[in-house]
Amino acid sequence: MYVLQGIIISCPAKPGPFNAPNKRHKTGGHRSKGQIDGRLKGSLLWDRMMRILKCILNGQASPSTKSGLSKSNATAIFKIFEMIKIVESVFLDHWSSILDLSQQVCQMWSGDVLRIVDAVKNSLTSSGGIVDTIRSATSNQNARNIDVISSLTIVQQVLSGNISRNRLITTTVALEMANYMKVFKWGDIQYVNDCLRRIEPAHKLGYLFS
């Protein structure tokens, strides 16, 4: 039951307004990303509370359970029910805004990844760069460089279209084939991973409301 108490303490009594401005994010893009992060956290919190309640109620319904719920634990369960209803009402009241927002941030994060991929690819294909070396060399290492450029081209083509689960899988595989962990800068690696990690749940959230 300590889990119930921890959830209640960590959750606000009421969620803030959907379109409330975030002082830390001044630009429209940053504000949209901050809003969708809040919706994703809300959906994850809702899922977590539902799972915990199911486990507790199933445990109480078991014939092997001899003791009933204490008054404090029963009160905690009712409070979690109230929070679940609050989260549900927010999503039901703003489903169209959430759908538009999820599509918008998916495009933003895809664009961020594309900008990094474009910059890396341009550096590899610039005059006097790796491509010139590839054209005049026959070593296995240079053949791998061709594979890197080809894989990055696949990433560009995939992320330029509509987001889907299959496209995200293709993007991840293409990045691995490009050996992006060695080709990209460390900061870019972290940001690309973060963008791809956020795109998938945002896409799923938008799919639920479409």
Least confident of 18-27, 68-77, 131-140, 173-182: 18-27
Amino acid letter, residue 75: T
Q: How far apart are CA 162 and CA 57, in angstroms?
A: 42
**CB count, 10 Å around CB of 178?**
25
- Which residue carries 């199911």 as its tokens? 54
Instruction: Give 132's pLDDT tier (boundaries 50, 70, 90).
Output: low
Q: Which of 33-42, 81-90, 99-108, 178-187 has the lowest mean pLDDT?
A: 33-42
Say yes or no to pLDDT of 18 above 60: no
Alpha-carbon gap, residue 19 to 131, rounded angstroms: 48
Radius of gyration of the chain from its Cα atoms, rounded to whole angstroms: 24
How many helices, marked H, and strands, marked E, lie in the chain? 9, 0
pLDDT at 86: 82
pLDDT for 33 beyond 70: no
Separation between Cα atoms, residue 179 and residue 35, nearest integer Å = 33
Unique residue bearing structure tokens 């896409």: 203
Among all chains, which residue has been given the structure tokens 């504000």?
31
DSSP-derived 3-state class of residue 34: helix
* CB atoms near residue 94 (< 10 Å): 17
- Give the single-character DSSP code of 49: H
Whether the pTM exceeds 0.75: the reply is no
Name, in order, each residue with C-beta under 8 angstroms of 108's C-beta and a sequence gap of 6 or more. Answer: 29, 32, 33
Number of neighbours of residue 68 by Cβ within 10 angstroms:
8
Q: Per mean pLDDT, which range of 56-65, 97-106, 127-136 is the poorest?
A: 127-136
